[in-house]
Structure 1
Amino acid sequence: MERRTFLRGAVVGTSAAAFGGTLMRGAAYAAPAQPGAGPYGALGAADANGIMLPAGFTSRVIARSGQTVSGTSYTWHKAPDGGACYADGTGWIYVSNSEINPSGGASAVRFNSSGSITSAYRILSGTRQNCAGGKTPWNTWLSCEEVSLGYVYETDPWGVNAAVRRPAMGRFKHEAAAADPVRQAVYLTEDESDGCFYRFLPTTWGNLSSGTLQVLKAGSGTSGSFTWQNVPDPDGSPTATRNQVSGAKRFNGGEGCHYANNTVWFTTKGDNRVWQLNLSSNTYELAYDDSLVVGGGAPLTGVDNVTGSSFGDLYVAEDGGNMEICVITPDDVVAPFLRITGQSSSEICGPAFSPAGDRLYFSSQRGTSGSSSGGITYEVTGPFRT
């Protein structure tokens, strides 16, 4: 089903012909997104930062691993990964994980209303391989450990309150999280080749100290209906959480996760897919699959972190591939939005929009050096659709 149905609130009349029939539910599902012209036009030549962008967009470097963040005394962490933005009065904050083991953790950069950096600081320390995570509706950052029996840590983007471990959310190789305020659930991906997709139902919404961990159950196909079943032993020992429930659906390397308007999307890097769960109907389908691209090469490979704009566009970052962030539009068109040049040994991580939607933050985890000590965090500003 086209994302416009969910994200733009389109009204369906007596005929779905205007939408190619994809608004019809039941046995028929929409075809995955196909290549086409992007909403911002072709990429231009690489700028001074080595980034190819459409006309009207500009980039700047926000921070570099091992170097002091401009205007502050704080040294930016290695291997920047998942991230999110938070409104802060007239300015905003961008948080970023550190995917190293040991030490890991997360940091934050604060901006004023004009976009100037005012401070940078640590919000989580002493953890392992913090890969992705997710933003909560109560403005905390869930930082996820991508290790066997890893934890989720709830952190304060303002750096005032101490981070708290949340074992009730399960111990497994966590990747990303996405909060659903309608169903009062947090969805969780698992970075295993035979991983599962989970949701956590807090006993009290807004308090992650206790609750129920559930796993998605479905058939072996790429579309159909799904149900949820409780995971008996969320601590994952002695039996891994993904092996506790018969019929749990397997996904090949869960990565990014994004929720908006009764839909959750998540990516699987092992098969270059973007999955779509339609939560109102409890059905699932493919929003993108590089092996199903018609008539030419796939523009999006190495699918990894994902975020969405207020317009309804999805932005999917590549781990490898052409080092691109690609956009998947509500009309199910996929196209490159930007490309980082000269960094083929890296991956793009942590895409997140500023509260106003006019700035996109992301990192190249290993930069030009190919090492975790060479990470670079960027900002792109321009006429994003909102």
Structure 2
Amino acid sequence: MSSRTDRRTFLRAATAGTAALAFSGSLWQSAAAAAPGAAADGPYGPLLAPDANGVALPAGFAARVVARSTHMVGGTLWHSAPDGGACFADGAGWIYVSNSELPLIGGASALRFRADGTLDRAYRILSGTNLNCAGGATPWGTWLSCEEIFRGRVFETDPYGNRPAVSRTAMGRFKHEAAACDPDHRVVYLTEDEDDGCLYRFTPDVWGDLSRGRLDVLCTTSGDAVEWRPVPNPSAPFTQTRHQVDAARHFDGGEGCHYSNGVCYFTAKGDRKVWAYDTNSSTVRALYGGDGTLNGVDNVTGTAAGDLYVAEDGGNMEINIITPDSVVAPVLRLDGQGESEITGPAFSPDGSRLYFSSQRGTSGERTGSGGITYEVRGPFRH
């Protein structure tokens, strides 16, 4: 198979067909079975040659660098090892928040853009925390920054920089990765980056206040059917949350998490799968089985059009789209950065700009001092 064909493929017929049945009424209700091995261009067409920044994009798209680790940007030294991120509306402009996956001094920073897309300023919103990997935006305009360490915490931060960050220990002490808010059921889903990690659901006593609530873990009942059971001691110092409920379902290396229209999508890097928990049918099935163009599944985001965008940790350094009709295809690729990973994909509020980072950039330094944060503009479906 040619390199072009290898980078543009349909989901396997079995995966697409069962997904379409399982998620009737969801974003994936229109998914159709595809012939095994068939290939198709994504909605934006093939990638062109890399630009001056080493970013390969479809026709009609353009990229720029907005920040570099250890360099001054908007009056602030941009952090190393940029990881999970999200965008927030700010008047006529917007804010992009980015975590720092550094030990002991991780935290998070923000870039504020004016209405015309020019950078206004940058500033820190969280400091003195440890290996802040991914996280998630809340409907009430805060950023949940997650520590990817033993007994890690979730910090609720203010993207606008007006209020101090607060530790939300009721959400559990474990190796946190990502968070996705479900406003329909008023819960927050949480992934765990362990080779036997779990998917959790936090139900706050009061929606919008994460200081108190109940932490549940996803458990297998039979086949694809699942249910939620309470974690007895979310802050236990010795018995980890993932080992407290015998029926807990385990996923190999939980990564990104995104909720939309009754479905919680999440990735597991160990088996290279994109999973979907359907809240209506209470089932969990794999939407993507790791046998095509997409490798090293990691951070994930989505659009109102029903498209998922999945970033690669390694692989050939792409962000791939998964469409509601089951097409998987790259929308961008970074050349010359094989020792890095793509992190923090997030769309501006109007859907016209995609932000993301290369955690170690062209240098490949494990400290992340060569990190690069990008913006891509173009005719995204939204």
TM over 0.5: yes
For the residue of structure 1 that corresponds to 2:271, the secondary structure is coil
Give how far 1:36 is off. Answer: 2.7
For the residue of structure 1 that corresponds to 2:294, the secondary structure is coil
Write the distance in 2 (CA, Å) between the matches of 1:79 and 1:320: 15
Write the distance in 2 (CA, Å) between the matches of 1:185 and 1:332: 27
Structure 1 equivalent of residue 46 of structure 2: 42
Aligned pair count reads 360
Write the distance in 1 (CA, Å) between the matches of 2:100 and 2:218: 29
Give how far 1:143 is off. Answer: 0.1
Structure 1 equivalent of residue 317 of structure 2: 323
Give how far 1:236 is off. Answer: 3.1
Moved beyond 6 Å, runs of 4+: 30-34
Structure 1 equivalent of residue 14 of structure 2: none
Q: What runs of 5+ residues in structure 2 fail to find an aligned partner?
A: 1-18
Q: For 1:286-365, what aligned pairs fall within 5 Å after superposition?
A: 286-291=286-291, 298-365=292-359
For the residue of structure 2 that corresponds to 1:373, the secondary structure is coil
For the residue of structure 2 that corresponds to 1:6, the secondary structure is coil
For the residue of structure 2 that corresponds to 1:345, the secondary structure is coil
Write the distance in 2 (CA, Å) between the matches of 1:31 and 1:175: 35
> Could you report, residue by residue, the CA deviation over 1:307-351 in whole angstroms, capped at 9, with x for unpaired residues?
001211100000000000000000011011110001110000000
From the superposition, tell whether residues 287 and 81 of structure 1 become closer, same or farther in structure 2 (CA, over 3 Å).
same
Write the distance in 1 (CA, Å) between the matches of 2:212 and 2:279: 23
> Could you report, residue by residue, the CA deviation over 1:242-288 in whole angstroms, capped at 9, with x for unpaired residues?
00001100100000000001001000000100001111111111110
8 Å CA contact 1:57–1:382 kept in 2: the answer is yes
8 Å CA contact 1:310–1:357 kept in 2: the answer is no
Structure 2 equivalent of residue 57 of structure 1: 61
For the residue of structure 2 that corresponds to 1:290, the secondary structure is coil
Structure 1 equivalent of residue 81 of structure 2: 79
From the superposition, tell whether residues 32 and 230 of structure 1 become closer, same or farther in structure 2 (CA, over 3 Å).
farther
Structure 2 equivalent of residue 281 of structure 1: 281
Select the residue among 118, 121, 129 that pairs with 2:120: 118
Q: Given the two structures, how large is their TM-score scaled by the length of structure 1? A: 0.90
Identical aligned residues as a percent: 61
From the superposition, tell whether residues 8 and 228 of structure 1 become closer, same or farther in structure 2 (CA, over 3 Å).
closer
For the residue of structure 1 that corresponds to 2:170, the secondary structure is helix
Select the residue among 140, 143, 146 that pairs with 2:142: 140
8 Å CA contact 1:32–1:289 kept in 2: the answer is no
Write the distance in 1 (CA, Å) between the matches of 2:236 and 2:336: 41
Structure 2 equivalent of residue 179 of structure 1: 181
Select the residue among 357, 370, 374 that pairs with 1:374: 370
Give how far 1:218 is off. Answer: 1.0
Write the distance in 2 (CA, Å) between the matches of 1:272 and 1:5: 26
Write the distance in 1 (CA, Å) between the matches of 2:234 and 2:303: 33
Q: What runs of 5+ residues in structure 1 fail to find an aligned partner?
A: 11-18, 23-29, 292-297
Structure 1 equivalent of residue 99 of structure 2: 97
For the residue of structure 2 that corresponds to 1:7, the secondary structure is coil
For the residue of structure 1 that corresponds to 2:190, the secondary structure is strand
From the superposition, tell whether residues 60 and 4 of structure 1 become closer, same or farther in structure 2 (CA, over 3 Å).
farther
Write the distance in 2 (CA, Å) between the matches of 1:277 and 1:34: 26
Write the distance in 2 (CA, Å) between the matches of 1:82 and 1:310: 20
From the superposition, tell whether residues 100 and 352 of structure 1 become closer, same or farther in structure 2 (CA, over 3 Å).
same
8 Å CA contact 1:33–1:334 kept in 2: the answer is no
Select the residue among 27, 36, 46 that pairs with 1:7: 27
Give how far 1:5 is off. Answer: 4.3
Give how far 1:237 is off. Answer: 1.9
8 Å CA contact 1:350–1:362 kept in 2: the answer is yes
Give how far 1:102 is off. Answer: 1.3
8 Å CA contact 1:33–1:288 kept in 2: the answer is no
8 Å CA contact 1:201–1:213 kept in 2: the answer is yes
8 Å CA contact 2:257–2:266 kept in 1: the answer is yes
Write the distance in 2 (CA, Å) between the matches of 1:143 and 1:115: 25
Write the distance in 1 (CA, Å) between the matches of 2:231 and 2:36: 31
Write the distance in 1 (CA, Å) between the matches of 2:91 and 2:27: 26
Q: Given the two structures, how large is their TM-score scaled by the length of structure 2? A: 0.91
For the residue of structure 1 that corresponds to 2:72, the secondary structure is coil
Q: Which amino acid aligns with 2:352?
A: D
Q: Which amino acid aligns with 1:168?
A: A
From the superposition, tell whether residues 31 and 302 of structure 1 become closer, same or farther in structure 2 (CA, over 3 Å).
farther
8 Å CA contact 2:28–2:325 kept in 1: the answer is no
Q: Which amino acid aligns with 2:369?
A: S
8 Å CA contact 2:109–2:124 kept in 1: the answer is yes
8 Å CA contact 1:202–1:208 kept in 2: the answer is yes
